[in-house]
Structures are given as C-alpha cells and as structure tokens.
C-alpha cells in the first residue's frame, strides 16, 4: 500500500513538472511519519511514558532497523533519495524553532534564597559526573569507535557532552503536568537542567568550531564570532525586544507583527550561526534566551507555536534520525560491550551523581532519587546534539545508533524511576505544600 500511493500519484503528475513530482513524493512520506508518530505516541502514553518516547521509537521503526529490514521496497518508495533533503530542511527548521522555544522558556530567576547556588551545585554534578565517565569511555574506545579524522580528545569530549545533557523541555512538561513546578525539587531541577543544557550547547559550539576550522586561526575566528553573536543577541537584541514583551504581557496575545518577529528572529539567528559554522539550532537557542522574560509573554509564545512545532516538525526530525539509525551495526560482542559501557556511563553519571548531590544539599532520599531520575532523561536534546555531530562528521553511524538507544532507554526509564522514588501519595503532599507557599507569596505581594 505504501508503494502504491506514491506510484499512483507520480503516474498522475505531468512528466515535466519536477516540482509537482517532488511534492507528490514528500506528502506521502509526511503522512506516514505523522501517522507513525501519533500511533507510537499514543501507545507510549498508554504505558505511562511521555509521548516523546513513542515519537522517538516511531522514528527508529521507520528506519532501516525495522521498516527497511522487513519491507525494503516500501521504505525505498516512501523515502527515496530526493525526499531526504526535504526532510532534512524541515527537521532543521523545526529544531531551530524548538530550541528557540526551549531558550525562551527558561526562567533565569531564582525564587528562593540560595536556590541558584543549590541549582548550580546540582548542575555541576549533572554535568561533571557523566562528562568524566563519558570522556573516559571515549578515550578508552576511541580506536574502536571513532572516525580516523577525529582526534582522541575531540571524540571523548563529544561523547561526554552528549551524555551530560538533560531533557529540559520534557522535564518541564512532567513537572507542570503534575503540579510540581513550584516545589523545592521542581524549581531546583528545572534551573539545574537549564544550566546543564546551556553548558552542553556551548561545548558543542566550541567542538564544531574546532572540527570545522581549517586551522587554529579559523577555529579562533569561529569561536570569536560565536561569542560576539551571543553577546549581541543577549545585550542588544534582547533590549530591543523588551517593548514587544510588555505589549504581549499587557494584551495577553500576539498581534500579526509580533508573530513575524518571533519567527524571523530565530530563523535569522539560525542562518547567522550556520554561516559562522556552529549549526542553526545554536542560533535558535540563543534567540530564545534573548526573548522578553515576562511570564505572560512566554506563556503566549508557547501556546502559539509549540503545538505546531512539536506536532508537525519534530516527528520529521525523529524520522530523519531514524533513517540514519542502523541498529544492526551494533550487533556482535565488541560493539555490544562498547554500547554497554556508554549506557552505564550515561546512566550512572547522571542518576547517581545528581541523586547524591541533592542528598548532600539536605533533601530526603526519596526526593534525591526523584531528582536523579528526572535529570537522567535525555529525550530530544541528545538527538539534536548527536545529529549535529553526525552531520559534521564528528561521529560514525555506529556511535550515532548507540547514542540513539541511550536516548530512548534513559528517557523511558525516567518516569518509572521517578514514580518509584515519589509515589503519587507523596507527590500530592509536595504539590499541596507548593500551592500553599505560592498562595502566601501572592498574598504578601
């Protein structure tokens, strides 16, 4: 059936209209991608998993691992060579806008005395432990896993950076759905996760500059241009956007002009960073950080854009990632052992590092293990990270497939481990305490 639809459509298209022929190839591919994402996302929610886990799995299933292995002709008809560049463009636009929304959603303000310091300690443990273990694994397995043109330290730092990521957007969604965003643990975890991801993206920008640079001078030039771009966005553009934030906060909605601004700013920023050489998603993230900080502006922005980006464009990215995921390549003893080492470094570094750091700050063991579980989820963030690495030639297809599995496993394990640490009865107590504190703060204001 999958083969029949594209074939019928192409037969009806004028032979000389290449654009129409391309459209009639892309549309069936998009339809199948969205259908697979919807079905797998629904199945994920039925087994108490975040929808993004199902969407990630859907991307893998559409790739050579399942669809390509069982129905190679159908996959070739759905995703021919001339369709993949279109999927790449759509996924890049989607990622740029998604990272823009992630950056715009970060709240930089600590809400309690000492909270920023505690979040920094948790972020340091969330970065440091998996980074050390990841770098160690990379140094150990460089000869087995790395491309020959990638240095040992560069490969090790990339692996450590990928393992140090936290799925900040998914973490925020879990906390908001459960009413825990204003608890001590909720605020601490959100702030620490935002710091973790910001540091990891800065590391990736530096690694990209080093990898793509023609020499030391070109590398330093790329790093300097990136730093200059970030400074202009955060110091100049952010100030110019403040009136927009006040206007949206006053009216509670975006006008037509405001919509153009919030779409053009991240796309322009992505174009600039792509031209610099550090990939467009970094520009989208910095553009998000430059957005006005009013809570009403952030809420209006997410309600206007997030559904379209996450429902239409992100499944395309998952599918494009799945087309590059060859799990058969990690069969065999040495490859499986290497994957086990990477997975252990990822899991132990985040889960135990963050849990023990939270406990050392005076939290109870249950809250500490819950924090470790949430910080251990990597979700979409690591997929973006490793797709950039694959596109820029920093990792092989084999390492990419291993890290896709790490993303799926650690993300799928987050909710079961969290619920084991904080059952619903204890969770309700924390949520009620947070609402009581918020009520007193509103009354005092």
Q: Which long-range contacts (CB under 8 A, 24 or more apart) does 178-181 make?
A: 178/427, 178/431, 179/431, 179/434, 179/435, 180/427, 180/430, 180/431, 180/434, 181/434
pLDDT band of residue 412 (cuts 50, 70, 90) is confident
Q: How many domains does the structure of the chain reveal?
A: 1
Boundaries of domain holding 191: 90-433
Name which of 175-179, 322-326, 403-407 the model is least confident about: 175-179
Contacts of 417 (CB under 8 A, 6+ apart): 351, 369, 372, 373, 376
Would you say 360 and 124 are in contact if contact means Cβ atoms under 8 Å apart? no
- pLDDT attached to residue 305: 87
Does some domain include residue 405?
yes
Residue 205, pLDDT > 80, answer no
pLDDT band of residue 178 (cuts 50, 70, 90) is low
pLDDT band of residue 360 (cuts 50, 70, 90) is very high
Does some domain include residue 367?
yes
- pLDDT attached to residue 138: 93
- The highest-confidence range among 38-52, 154-168, 230-244, by mean pLDDT, is 230-244
Name which of 13-27, 264-278, 289-303, 425-439 the model is least confident about: 425-439
Instruction: Residue 403: name the closest of 387, 418, 391 by CA.
Output: 387
- pLDDT attached to residue 182: 66
- pLDDT attached to residue 177: 64
Over residues 78-121, the pLDDT tens digits come to 999 899 999 999 988 988 898 898 888 766 554 556 777 888 88
> Measured between alpha carbons, how far is 231 from 195 in angstroms, rounded to an integer?
18
Please state at what angle helix 242-251 crosses helix 295-308, rounded to 10 degrees.
Answer: 90
Rg of the chain in Å (alpha carbons): 22
Q: What is the mean pLDDT of residues 189-211?
A: 79
**Which is more confident, 303 or 2?**
303
> In the chain, what's the furthest Cα-to-Cα distance?
72
- pLDDT attached to residue 3: 46
**Is 280 strand, coil or helix?**
helix
Would you say 381 and 165 are in contact if contact means Cβ atoms under 8 Å apart? yes
Does some domain include residue 14?
no
Average model confidence (pLDDT) for the chain?
A: 83
Q: What is the mean pLDDT of residues 239-258?
A: 86
Please state at what angle helix 379-391 crosses helix 397-421, rounded to 10 degrees.
Answer: 170
Helix ranges restricted to H, 327-396 = 333-360, 365-376, 379-391
Residue 437, pLDDT > 70, answer no
Does some domain include residue 61?
no
pLDDT band of residue 353 (cuts 50, 70, 90) is very high
- pLDDT attached to residue 110: 46
How far are the Cα atoms of 15, 68, 72, 262, 264 from residue 3, in angstroms, in the given order?
19, 13, 10, 40, 38
Q: What is the mean pLDDT of residues 233-237?
A: 94
pLDDT band of residue 278 (cuts 50, 70, 90) is confident
How far are the Cα atoms of 170, 262, 292 from residue 241, in angstroms, in the given order?
27, 10, 6
Residue 197, pLDDT > 80, answer no
Does some domain include residue 1?
no
- pLDDT attached to residue 433: 63
The separation between CA 327 and the C-alpha centre of its own chain, rounded to angstroms, equals 21
Name which of 58-62, 188-192, 227-231, 334-338 the model is least confident about: 188-192
**Which is more confident, 439 or 406?**
406
Q: What is the mean pLDDT of residues 356-361?
A: 92
Does some domain include residue 212?
yes
Give the pair of three-digit tokens for residue 202. Answer: 């800065």
Name which of 6-10, 38-42, 168-172, 331-335 the model is least confident about: 6-10
Give the pair of three-digit tokens for residue 123. Answer: 């972020």
Does some domain include residue 144?
yes
Cα four-point dihedral sign 244, 246, 247, 248: positive
Residue 57, pLDDT > 60, answer yes
Q: What is the CATH number of the domain that holds 334?
A: 1.20.1530.20
Residue 323, pLDDT > 80, answer yes
Does some domain include residue 67?
no
**Percent of the chain predicted with pLDDT > 70:** 86
């Amino acid at each position: 059936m999958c083969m029949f639809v594209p074939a019928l459509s192409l037969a009806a298209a004028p032979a000389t209209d290449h654009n129409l022929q391309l459209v009639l190839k892309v549309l069936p591919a998009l339809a199948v991608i969205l259908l697979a994402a919807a079905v797998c996302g629904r199945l994920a929610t039925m087994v108490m998993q975040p929808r993004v886990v199902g969407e990630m799995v859907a991307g893998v299933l559409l790739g050579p691992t399942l669809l390509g292995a069982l129905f190679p002709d159908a996959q070739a008809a759905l995703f021919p060579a001339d369709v993949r560049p279109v999927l790449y463009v759509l996924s890049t636009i989607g990622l740029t806008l998604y990272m823009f929304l992630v950056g715009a959603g970060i709240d930089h303000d600590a809400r309690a005395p000492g909270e920023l310091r505690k979040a920094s300690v948790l972020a340091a443990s969330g970065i440091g432990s998996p980074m050390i273990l990841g770098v160690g694994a990379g140094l150990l397995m460089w000869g087995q896993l790395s491309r020959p043109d990638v240095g040992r330290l560069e490969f090790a730092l990339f692996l450590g950076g990928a393992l140090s990521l936290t799925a900040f957007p998914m973490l925020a969604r879990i906390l908001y759905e459960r009413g825990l965003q204003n608890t001590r643990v909720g605020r601490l975890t959100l702030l620490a996760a935002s710091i973790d991801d910001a540091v990891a993206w800065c590391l990736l920008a530096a690694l990209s500059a080093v990898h793509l640079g023609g020499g030391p001078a070109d590398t330093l030039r790329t790093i300097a241009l990136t730093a200059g771009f970030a400074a202009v966005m955060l110091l100049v553009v952010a100030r110019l956007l403040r009136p927009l934030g006040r206007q949206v906060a006053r009216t509670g909605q975006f006008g037509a002009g405001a919509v153009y601004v919030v779409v053009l700013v991240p796309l322009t920023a992505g174009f600039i960073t792509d031209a610099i050489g550090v990939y467009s998603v970094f520009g989208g993230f910095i553009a998000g950080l430059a957005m006005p900080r009013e809570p009403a502006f952030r809420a209006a922005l997410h309600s206007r854009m997030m559904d379209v980006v996450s429902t239409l464009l992100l499944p395309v990215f998952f599918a494009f990632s799945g087309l590059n995921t060859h799990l058969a390549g990690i069969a065999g003893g040495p490859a499986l052992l290497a994957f086990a080492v990477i997975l252990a470094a990822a899991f132990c570094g985040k889960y135990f590092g963050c849990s023990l750091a939270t406990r050392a700050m005076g939290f109870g063991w249950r809250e500490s293990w819950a924090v470790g579980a949430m910080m251990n989820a990597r979700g979409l963030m690591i997929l973006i990270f490793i797709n950039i690495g694959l596109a820029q030639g920093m990792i092989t297809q084999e390492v990419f497939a291993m890290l896709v599995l790490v993303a799926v496993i650690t993300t799928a394990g987050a909710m079961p481990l969290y619920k084991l640490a904080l059952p619903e009865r204890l969770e309700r107590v924390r949520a009620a305490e947070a609402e009581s504190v918020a009520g007193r703060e509103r009354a005092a204001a």
